[in-house]
Structures are given as C-alpha cells and as structure tokens.
Amino acid sequence: MKSLSAKNPLNRILNPRRQSLLFQFTSLYILNLLVIIFFISVVVMAGMCYFLIQNTDQELQAMEKKLATLTEEEYPGEVQESLDEVLYPDHANYYVEIRASEESTIARSRGYDEMTEEEDEEEDDEFHLNLPGSYVWNDDQGLYIQKMIPWQSTSESGIIEVNVQLNQVAEFLTAMAQIILTAALLCLIIGSIFIYKLTKRNLRPLFVITDAVGEMESSPDLTKRVPVPETPRELNELGTRFNDLLFQLEKQFEREKSFVSNASHELRTPLTAFKGHLNLIKRWGKKDPEILDQAIEALKEESDRMEKMMVQLLTIARNEQMETQMEKVDLTKVINQTIQQFQSSTTIQIKGDLEEDLSVKGDEEQLRQIFVILLDNAIHYSDDKGEINVTLQKQGGSVELSVSDQGIGIPFEEQKKIFDRFYRVDKNRSRKTGGTGLGLSIAKELVDNHSGSLRVESVPGEGSTFIVRIPCLK
C-alpha cells in the first residue's frame, strides 16, 4: 500500500528540499527571528501599557485631591462651577458626579447623563478587568476607568463617582500594535531574504565540494581533488581529509595496477620459458637424451619458481584481507626454532645471539614468516662458505631483530626500492636463486601490521643487514 507522500507529487518535490541544510538552516533562523520579534513586541506593548496605566493612575490620584476640595463649598451652584473649572478644558474625558449620602446629586460634569444612560442599556456588554482601579468596556463608550471616592464634610457626606475615558490610550495602543505588526512583517520578510542569502553564501563551499564529488563519480581520473575552502574551519578540514583519502585511494589503485601489471609480466616469463623448453623437447628431445634431461630440469625449476610466486601472491592477498591476531609471543623461542630448521638444510653457518625470554604482542605465524623471509633472502645471496649472524635484543621499548649476511650487498640507490613488490636488484641473479621480488615487500607489510619498522644497512661487496624493530610486550 502506497503512502500518502508517495501518492502526492508535491511531497516528492518538497521532501528533498526539506531535507537540505539550506532549508533547515533558513527555517531555523526564521523561527528564531519570529520568536525574537514576538518577544520584543510583547515587551514593548507590555511596557507601553504599564506606563500609560501608571500615568493615568497618577493623574487620577491628583484629580481625587482636587475633587475632594470641591465638597467643602457651601452651595451646590458653587460646587458645579468649581467642578467645571477643574475639568475643562484639560480634562474633558472625565465624567464626574458628586452625590450626597441621600443619593441627591450635588454636581455633574458635562455628558455624564448620556454616558450613564448608554451604560445602563449596554450593561450586559461590559466586563471588568483585574487591573488597578476598575476598568470597564462597552461598545459605545469604549474603555474607561470607574472609581468611587467617599467624601465627608462637617455637615454631610457622600460619594464622588469618577469615570475616565481611555479611548485615546486604547487608540494609541492599537496604533502601536499596528506599527509593531507592520515592522515585524517587514523585518520578517527582509530578514528571511537576508538569512537565506547569508546561509546560501555560507554553504556555498559545501555545495562546491558536493558538485566536485558528483563530477568524480562519472570520471575515472583519480588525480582530481575537491576544492578546499579557507573558511569555515570545519569545511576546510572536511575538504583536506577527503583529499587525503583520495590521495590514499590513488596510491592504492596505482599499487594494485602496478601489482597486476608486474604479476602478469612475471607469470608470462616462466610460461614463455615453459613453451620454449617444450618446443626444444619436441624438436630434439627424442634424439638427444642430454637435451631432454636439461629441458626437464629447466621445466622443474620454472615450475618451482611459479609455485613459489603463486604462494607469495596468495600470501599478499590473505594479509590484505585477514586481521592480525594479537597475542603474547615468545620471539626468542620462535627465532631459535626457525634457525634450527634452516641450519639442517644448508651448509651456510647460521649463528644466533638471542637474548632470553623476549616477548612481543603479535601474530606468531606472521612473526615467524618475517624471519623466514629475511633468513631465506640472506641464504640465497650468500656464498656457500659464508656466514649469517642473527641477533635478538631489547632496545629501549622495542625488540630488535637483525639478520646479517656476507653476500653481494645492495647499492645505496637501490636500498629504498627493495621493499617494492616485484623489485629485484639483479634480475638475472634473482632468476638463478629463484627470487620473485615479493619476499621483502611481504615482510615489510607484516612488520607494519605489528606497528614496527624494517630497514636495511648494506655495503656492496660486503653484505647486508636487515633490522626489524617491534614494540615490546607491556
């Protein structure tokens, strides 16, 4: 059953926009702007109301004092005359009635009768607010304040009823509200446009990076990089790290490309030799037994070399996919066992100077393979009467293993390249010794798996020393 959003094409158009950072940031800023405008408007209106109410209340208190003095007049005509003088022309919005205790009217302001008549007719429309004094509203008179002031003289007492029209105050507040609302709408529109432009400008570096990544998807060129903006700092770091990742991928791709090319070339060489020897056997092998024996021996050597290369290629593939299992390994014991195994199958003297009970944290089989590669390399490039020295000792926080031979040595300019896959210093000699150019590269990768280092010190004609350093077991 399809959802409503799937049925509605408008949702399909709007949803991606709602999920964009530009839409989210702009919406958030506009919402914050609305809250700020509303808060400011409420504060301004509340302040204005409070100020006007306080001002009216103070004015009413002053008027109470003046009206209280009117009750001291002896004759009603004098009270009416004095009331008119107090109210007009400055206080025409005051409707006042001075009554005696027996409900007789002593004096009234102008328009009081009309106001009280309409008030009686519209009594149902009034409501009182819980503000200082008594505030009353009706449809005809609008907002006004009503107050009863008791008075007493030497001869009688009564009530002064005061009604103050606040229409001007209400009109002022209404005008202020309209002004604030208009200003708020203008600020909201202008602010929304400004915020949209500002957000779009701030996010432009991110859009540029996104467009650059999109172009890379359809291009096989791994040398391309995304532009790195100077600001903001977060996008600068994102672009820099993304380019670092692209650089690593480019290097990995080039290594794999070179590996495939070199592997194809190295495998083609023994296959060509196979074909040549088979043709030789086909043409001369049946007639000449010596040629047949030589060809068969050559085929055996090439097949052994191909088998060794295939094993090493599988080792490289396995090391790239498998995770190194870290555990406590007695390195002294592993190296001692390996020396004994090699010594039984070679006439070259292998001398070991091993410090007792040196342990590291690592994969025992990988550590054994590192030493096997280094020792096998030393044997292949040493004379039968030569000597190989193996030392194992603790150096600071690391265990140092060195394998030294008295072979042909390695030229200085070649020493940095010997850990590359399929690289051989002397290709002719390597083919005679069965070398594939993969052993040292495998050893280097295995040492890296153990957070260690592998380097060579060599003098041509005198021999080479391979030094491995691996952190000690803490």
Q: Which phi and psi angles does 180 have, rounded to 5°?
A: -65, -40
Query: How far apart (Å, rounded) are the C-alpha atoms in residues 219 and 236?
Result: 24
Q: What is the pLDDT of residue 198?
A: 83
Confidence band of 414 (pLDDT split at 50, 70, 90): confident
**What is the token pair recorded at 52?**
């006007």
285 and 235 together in one domain: yes
159 and 248 together in one domain: no
Mean pLDDT of the chain: 76
Listed in sequence order, the residues at least 6 apart from 384 whose beta carbon sits closer than 8 Å to its beta carbon are: 347, 348
Q: CB-hemisphere CA count at 13 Å for 5?
A: 6
70 and 152 together in one domain: yes
345 and 449 together in one domain: yes
269-300 burial, b at 16+ Cβ within 10 Å, e below that, comes to: ebeebeeebeebbeeebeeeeebeeebeeebe
Q: Assign residue 472 the CATH number of its domain.
A: 3.30.565.10
Examine the pLDDT at 202 and tell me if it is beyond 70: yes
Which of these, 399, 362, 403, lies nearest to 382 by C-alpha position? 403
Mean pLDDT over 145-155 rounds to 77
The answer to whether the pTM exceeds 0.85 is: no
Residue 468 lies in a domain: yes
Beta bridge partners of 362: 327
133 and 257 together in one domain: no
Listed in sequence order, the residues at least 6 apart from 383 whose beta carbon sits closer than 8 Å to its beta carbon are: 348, 406, 407
Question: Backbone dihedral region of 459: left (phi > 0), alpha (psi from -120 to 50 degrees) or beta?
Answer: beta
**Sheet arrangement for strand 105-108:** 105-108, 94-100, 157-165, 142-152, 134-138, 127-129
Q: Assign residue 233 the CATH number of its domain.
A: 1.10.287.130
Instruction: Give the residue numbers spanning the domain of 255.
Output: 222-322
Mean pLDDT over 200-220 rounds to 79
pLDDT per residue over 387-401, tens digit each?
899 999 998 889 999
